[in-house]
Structure 1
Amino acid sequence: MNENKVSSQMKHRVEGKDLVVERMFNAPRDLVFKAFSEPDHLASWWGPKGWDTTIYRFEFEPNGVWHYCMRCIDKDQGDFYGQESWGRSVFHEIISPEKIVYTDVFADEKGNPVPNAPEMFITLKLEEHQCKTKLILRTQFKSEEELPKVMDMGMVKGLASHYEELDEYLKQL
């Protein structure tokens, strides 16, 4: 089991065709769950630093769809500035405040999956640890070959930035 640290806050490891990410947040589990389950909260932090997220559809229930667009608004990010990244998720299981299971795929502005884009089966678990919350994200790919492609695209670095944004947002609440 190869384990790496992207920052002092986040650890990740690869287990076959799964990417497992762990990070501790200095906030109660109910609040972290709310940040993932309410669209106003989610839009306030979702995406890496320098990106803005607009949520077009959010049905937080089993078989509900979440359709969103992240836009790079930071001119210092060079070629990324102005780029859009659309996503579409379908929720499968929700156990408040401890677990969210969903599939996620790159999509177009209408919510159609991008051809040949990897579909990710994601299990998000939140564990309470003395008024703090441990987030465990398990992203499963259909094959072991898909995982390195997504990692080469910067998925781990993006998640680290993503969770830094969540950490900052939780401090404001």
Structure 2
Amino acid sequence: MANSMIFKAEGNQLIAERVFDAPRELVFKMFTEAEHLKNWWGPRGWDLTVCNIDFRPGGSWHFCMKCVDENQGDFYGYESWGKALYREIVDGEKIVYVDYFSDSEGNLSEEMPAAEITLTFIDLGGKTKIVNQVEYPSAEELQKGLDMGMEQGFTETWDRLVEYLQDIQ
């Protein structure tokens, strides 16, 4: 498995970094197509049951993660809907989007904080470093995300990406 996650939280920002043992073009592609996202997005025990993606600036990604692991107690069967609105895409290098909680119709949640996500893909000669910068409107909103288990969710999701990349290479 590739190296572990590095997390840095300061003010209203969380930065997560990890190196993947795959070329940058392939790692970038994992974030752009539903057929790939369905195989790794979300923490362990959760499946991406809906994945509608229009990958372009001004486009969106509407998705549903559903808990399919009976061992997760009250979460079993729970659906978590989200919607990303793409702001900027530099092919192979960067994706910027605003990440929202939503409902099944794609209506954005006003109760849960939104975050601007900047994913930077750095070519390390056959490996790829992803720097994921998450910016919330305030430090308090970031803390809500951390309290919900954001670090564990990131780690498990990117562990699944490592495993999927190993399977397809």
For normalisation by structure 1, the TM-score amounts to: 0.93
Give the share of equivalent positions with the same residue, in percent. 47
In the alignment, which of 147, 150, 153 is matched to residue 152 of structure 1?
147
Q: Do residues 41 (structure 1) and 36 (structure 2) align? A: yes
For normalisation by structure 2, the TM-score amounts to: 0.95
CA RMSD of aligned residues (A): 1.3
Tell me by how many angstroms 1:91 deviates: 0.5
Structure 1: runs of 5+ lacking an equivalent = 1-7
Kept in 2, the 8 Å contact 1:55–1:66? The answer is no
CA offsets, 1:104-146, max 9 Å, x none?
1110000111222101100000101121110100000011111
Measure, in 2, the Cα distance between the counterparts of 1:29 and 1:50: 27
Tell me by how many angstroms 1:57 deviates: 2.2
Kept in 2, the 8 Å contact 1:39–1:55? The answer is no
CA offsets, 1:59-112, max 9 Å, x none?
000110110000010111112111110000100111110100000111000011
1:56–1:45 Cα change, 3 Å? closer
Tell me by how many angstroms 1:56 deviates: 4.3
Aligned to 2:95: 100
Measure, in 2, the Cα distance between the counterparts of 1:66 and 1:129: 28
Aligned to 2:116: 121
Structure 2: runs of 5+ lacking an equivalent = none
Tell me by how many angstroms 1:35 deviates: 0.5
Tell me by how many angstroms 1:42 deviates: 1.0
SS at match of 2:151: helix
**Structure 1 residue runs of 4 or more that deviate by more than 6 Å after TM superposition:** none
Kept in 2, the 8 Å contact 1:91–1:103? The answer is yes
Aligned to 2:157: 162
Measure, in 2, the Cα distance between the counterparts of 1:40 and 1:29: 18
In the alignment, which of 83, 97, 109 is matched to residue 88 of structure 1?
83
Aligned to 1:3: none
The one-letter amino acid of 1:168's match is E
The one-letter amino acid of 1:96's match is D
